[in-house]
Each structure stands twice: as structure tokens, then as C-alpha cells.
Amino acid sequence: VPRDAYKAWLRYAPLNPDQAEEYAPWCGTVVAAFSGHAPLLATACEELRDGIGSMLGRRPQESRSSDSERFLLVGTLDSAELKGLMDEADMEAVGDEGYVLRTVEQPERRFIAIAGKTDKGALYGAFHFLRLLQTGQRIRDLRVVENPAGKLRMIDHWDNMDGSIERGYAGRSVFFHHGAFLGNWNRIRDYARMMAAVGLNAISINNVNVNETATRLIAPELLPSVAKVADVFREYGVRLFLSINFASPIELGGLTTADPLDPQVREWWAERATDVYRHIPDFGGFLVKADSEFRPGPFTYGRDHADGANMLAEALQPYDGVVIWRCFVYDCLQDWRDRSTDRARAAYDHFRPLDGKFRENVILQIKNGPVDFQVREPVSPLFGGMPLTNQVLELQITQEYTGQQRHLCYLVPQWKEAIDFDTYALGEGSTVAGVATGALTDRPLGGFAGIANIGDEPSWTGHILAQANYYGFGRLAWSPTLTSEQITDEWVRITFGNDPAVVETISRMLLDSWHIYENYTSPLGIGWMVNPSHHYGPNVDGYEYSKWGTYHFADNQGIGVNRTVSTGTGYAGQYHDVPAARYESVESCPDELLLFFHHVPYTHVLKSGKTVIQHIYDSHFEGFEQAEGLAEAWRGLEGKVDGDRYASVLSRLQQQSKHAAEWRDVINTYFYRKSGISDAHNRTIY
């Protein structure tokens, strides 16, 4: 398998001679400047020397003195060398994880300063500088100040200790096998580097569905191994978290209850926390899925989520740890005959009344949509619905419902829509980004969490182009104001080089792919229509008569879920006034979410001018053609992308177009038979 695929965005391919000539004079020497304890600075220098060495063919020397004519000065702003170089305004603008990149011209010497407030900031600055070289930017007059938007920029792994990965599509776990730690430290180190290079600073390594073995991760016998993993991530500024089992006091501690208000239970958790921190002094905290999909939680004891989260938060507080409590809570034993229960409402109904009741070191982790990572969903109304509570936006990088890394589905444009969504919580301009980072609501904690899409496959992600989703998640968590186009352009250049034809073609493919996938799968925001349990491939009624609360209600007249306040489930009323009104009315509801909010006849005319049924036919015929177009576009790159990666991506794109035809035919046939309405263009429907 291609080495280049393994290296992902740390590939550092040799630059063309013109570029090399421009950069080389600056890059002969790396000077470190720091005062006191700054362990990540060594990491930063090492990364610079390796990356530059690989791109320019000459590894920079390391030096503590700055007497060469031109050099890179990497350090912390409080060091003797860097103090006084920056103006007051810049100094003040740099936060704890932030940095400055500055080309400094002095009479006797010129250098590029890569300066963080802390050594961690300097490490991020070093990766930024490397990215400039990878993407062919000018470095002669740098004046950059960067700070991350989100404090928490986290990756959640759904890895089980037997080595399987829940919803994983790229092989087995890089952490665990056979109920134990795999111990492949080099691979974990490479992974930590990849994380730091895109600014990620936290990781939870085990599945939120915590089974028996994983319950023991906080027990004395496994903590030394957990600590070893934490050591590796620490070198790259990444803090380690664990998912915990709410019933641990019973399953691990031998108590008879896990009641969060029971003094013995509280004491048990406090002792566990003390022990965890004895092994891992900078441990991040606990991630919790409770009272959700058969996981234990406070409901068993008649307590609420605030009782549960606060109990754990109290245990972690002395060590600066946080509790990340997931809001993915709903009734998964619903009766499909019961039209009054609406799964989309559940998270808001459970959590909204608890606003203001959580401790300061609790963060609620909320999926982008109210249901479950479908190809299209509205934004969860919890964003902007709980201004007194720390929140984190949870995105699914792993492509569970979006083609399972066999299909190309680049999710950055989808995430951008969620991040930019205006909740109107504090009037116009109250974006999800503002809420999730805490900037809008003035919360101390917040950020972004993404469910990992990597495994032990040599390419990390199976589909090489799926690396872009991981990369893009990291970049957005750092800077949600970046556009999809900017992130895409960066990733393509870093991964495939700067040839304009390559950059143009792959960028287009990525940017179009989500809409293409949406076109040939479930229409107009209704979601699902997948095979139960593994969730791959079309099955229109797969979830229609099930207990999971995910229905489309298609009959011979029409389709969709009435979630209006006036005649439906009332979900639309969970939003603030402006979005609530927009979704409530069938006239103003955007086409792409129409069936999420309204039940309409097949003959209903969309804003596009087409009827719903004709839209279904057209989008599915078109989606298949577009999927074929992706493979065709890629074929145009033969010879411009190295043979191994070319072949690997091509085979996936071919599978995708074949499978898109299956989707097209199943969906079109189903709705033709249901509605009895023919395609206006008389194309083949079975």
C-alpha cells in the first residue's frame, strides 16, 4: 500500500525547484527560544526539521544561537529572544494555544519567528509554517496571528477493546486488540502528529458504548497502559479522555447502586478520579453516554442528567477534569403506530429544562442534527436553546450513513452549514459556531468533537479521499470561519501536490460529493431508507415499522413527517422565532428539509418548480450520473497521481457508481409503485 497514503497530510513531498529556491535560504537553521519548561518546543523543532528536510532535501541544523544570516526562530513569546520583537497588540491577541508567524527584517539578520504564547502554541505555529510550504505560499512577509476558536477540539473513537470499531470502515483499532492494548506506539505517535498538525487537542480512545472490558480502563490494572497512551499523545499536546460506564460503581466497584446522589457512589467516583490522575496528571476527563440506547444512566434511580453529570464533575473538579455528557438521548423502544412521539424532539425535551443546572466543568455534547447523522438534517435546536450551559458540537467524521468510506462523501460543506446556522438565540448572528465555542454565550468551555474515521488500514481511512474529512474537521474546529473551498484547496495541495489540473479536479470532486450522495439516497431531508443495523445500502422501509423512531410515513398519496406546531409533533417550535417560523410554514421551509418538517402529497410543487415525485426521480437519475462523473473525472488524473493511490481511489469510485445505480433504482421503483405517477421523461423505472 502506498506510503504516501499512510503519511496523509504529513507527506511533505519534495517541492519543485522554484519553490525550494525561495524557501531554502530561510530554512537552513532552526533556532529554539524558550524560558523554563517547554517540552513541546522540542517536538516543534523536530517536526520542522523533518518536514523541511523532506520537502527541501536538506534537514535544517538545530542551533541555540541565532548568528546565521537567515533562520527560523521557534519559541515562546516570553523568551529573551522573542520578547520585545512583537508589538503590544499582537502580544495581547495571542491566547494560550495561539501563535504568531512573523518575518522579521533587522539590519544584520532576517528570520521568521514562529512564536507561541506557550510551547503548544509554538507547535501549532510550526505546523502552520510547514503547511505554507506544502501549499506553496509566500513566506517573505508573514504577519499571521492565530488562535483556535474552540477550546476543546476533540476526536472520539468508537473503538472496542476486542479491536473492532463501532461504525468503523477502515480496519481495526489502532489502540486495542483481544481485550488489551495493542502497543503499536509508533503508529499511535504518527496519529498524534496528524492530530496536532490540524490543531486537535483531545482524544477519547474507547467507544461510548462501554462494554465489560472497557469498563475496566479506569481500574488499577489497566491504568498504567492508559497512561502510556496518554504519554504519547502528550508529546503532541493532545489530552486523553476515557468513555466511562455509568454503572461502574456496580460493575467494577461491587456496590449495589450507581445512584448519583448516593454518598458511597460519589465517594467511589472520587477515589477513581484520584487514581486516574495519579497515573495521568493531565487526564482530560470522562465522556458519557447515559440513558441512551440501552446504556445505564441516572434515570434508573429517578435522577436526571444534571444529577448524573454533576456527580462525575465533582469527582473530577479537584484535578481540572471535565465531564462531557452526550445529549443523544431518546426512546429507542418506540411503537411505530404511535404518531405522537417524535424522536427529533427528545434531546431538547430532556435537556432544555436543565439549562443552568450543570456544573462549570460539564460540557454537553450535541450531535449536529436532532436525529442521527443523516445525509441532511436541520441543526439541533439545543444549540442556542441552553445559553447557561457549556456545549460541544458533535460531528460524525466516520461515514456511517454517508457511504461508509466506499462512497466519496466529503462532509466539510455539510458541517459548514451546521456551523454557520443562525440559531437567533440572541438575535440575528447567533451562529452555532458562536454557541459551540462559547463565544456567543460567554461560556468558559466549548468546542467541537468528531467521531473518528480512522483504523489500522495503511491509508488510515480506507478511502484515501476520506482523509479529507478528518483533516477538514480539525481545520474547522480550529477555525470555523474557513470556507469549504479554502480547506479543500489546502488538503488537495498537501495530499496530491500543486499541479493546477489536479487541484482543480479533486477539489471539485470533493466539493460536489455530498450533494451527489444526497441526490441518489434519501430525498428532501427525510433520511434513513437504509438497511437496518449496518446502515449500508437502500432499504426504503428498513426502519419504517421498527422501534427506533425514524419514519418517513410514505403512502399512496404522499410522504414526510409533520413536525409543525399547528398540526404536527411541535418539533419546529423548539427553535427560536425566526428559524421556527421558517420551518413551520410549508411555503418558507427550504426544499432540502421539506419532508423533515412536513407531510406533503407527491404532487406538491417545490420551490424548484418540480413536484416532489418528479424531484425524486430527477435527483436519483442525476445523482447516479454524477457518481459516474466522479469516476470519470478521476480517470482524467491518470499519470498525474501516483499509480497506487490512483488505482485505490478509482476502484472505490467504480464501486460507488455501481452502488449509486442500486440506490437510484430501489428508490425510484419504490415511489413509482407507491404513487402510481410516471416519470415525466419516461426513463426506466422497474
Q: Per-residue string for binding with ligand GCU, 403-432, x by CB under 6 A?
A: ------------------------------
Candidates 167, 303, 343, 416; binder of ligand GCU (CB under 6 A) is 167
- End-to-end C-alpha distance for the chain, whole angstroms: 41
C-beta of 528: minimal distance to ligand GCU in Å? Answer: 11
Contact status: 350 vs ligand GCU (CB under 6 A): no
Q: Which residue has the cell 479491536?
A: 163
Q: Per-residue string for binding with ligand GCU, 62-91, x by CB under 6 A?
A: ------------------------------
Query: Rg of the chain's alpha carbons, rounded to an integer?
Result: 26
| Selection from 318, 323, 313 nearest residue 287 by Cα | 323
Contact status: 372 vs ligand GCU (CB under 6 A): yes
What is the rounded CA–CA span in Å between residue 426 and residue 660? 42
C-beta of 166: minimal distance to ligand GCU in Å? Answer: 5
Pick 293 or 638: Cβ nearer ligand GCU: 293
Candidates 127, 283, 328, 646; binder of ligand GCU (CB under 6 A) is 328
Contact status: 164 vs ligand GCU (CB under 6 A): no
User: What is the SS3 assignment for 354-421?
Assistant: HCCCCCCCEEEEEECCCCCCCCCCCCCCCCCCCCCCEEEEEEECCCCCCCCCCCCCCCHHHHHHHHHC
Q: What strand order describes the sheet that includes 29-33?
A: 61-63, 29-33, 70-76, 110-116, 99-105, 143-146
Helix axes 185-197, 467-478, angle to 10 degrees: 50
Element (H, E) at 436: helix 432-437
Contact status: 331 vs ligand GCU (CB under 6 A): no
Cα dihedral angle (172, 173, 177, 183), rounded to 10 degrees?
130
C-beta of 357: minimal distance to ligand GCU in Å? Answer: 23
Candidates 209, 211, 225, 654; binder of ligand GCU (CB under 6 A) is 209
C-beta of 292: minimal distance to ligand GCU in Å? Answer: 6
Helix (H, G, I), strand (E, B) or coil at 612: helix
At 438, the amino acid letter reads G
Pick 33 or 208: Cβ nearer ligand GCU: 208
- Residue 360 annotated to the active site: no
C-beta of 509: minimal distance to ligand GCU in Å? Answer: 27
* Helix-strand-coil split of the chain, %, nearest 5: 40, 15, 45
606: cell is 417545490
Pick 166 or 420: Cβ nearer ligand GCU: 166
- Residue 625 annotated to the active site: no
Pick 209 or 300: Cβ nearer ligand GCU: 209
What is the rounded CA–CA span in Å between residue 491 and residue 194? 13
Contact status: 289 vs ligand GCU (CB under 6 A): yes
> CB-based contacts of 419: which residues, under 8 Å, 6+ apart?
393, 431, 432, 433, 436, 476, 480
Pick 66 or 209: Cβ nearer ligand GCU: 209
Pick 41 or 371: Cβ nearer ligand GCU: 371
C-beta of 512: minimal distance to ligand GCU in Å? Answer: 26
Q: Which of 342, 372, 377, 592 is catalytic?
A: 372
Q: Which of 400, 457, 489, 518 is catalytic?
A: 400
C-beta of 404: minimal distance to ligand GCU in Å? Answer: 12
Pick 547 or 658: Cβ nearer ligand GCU: 547
C-beta of 400: minimal distance to ligand GCU in Å? Answer: 6
Q: Which of 231, 293, 504, 541 is catalytic?
A: 293
- Residue 400 annotated to the active site: yes
| Residues in region 179-208 near ligand GCU by CB under 6 A | 208
DSSP labels, 148-168: -S-SEEEEE--B-TTS-BTT-
Please state the φ and ψ torsions of residue 584, each to the nearest 5 degrees.
-65, -40
The residues of the shown chain that bind ligand GCU, judged by CB under 6 A, are: 166-167, 208-209, 289, 328, 372, 400
Question: What is the set of active-site residues?
Answer: 293, 372, 400
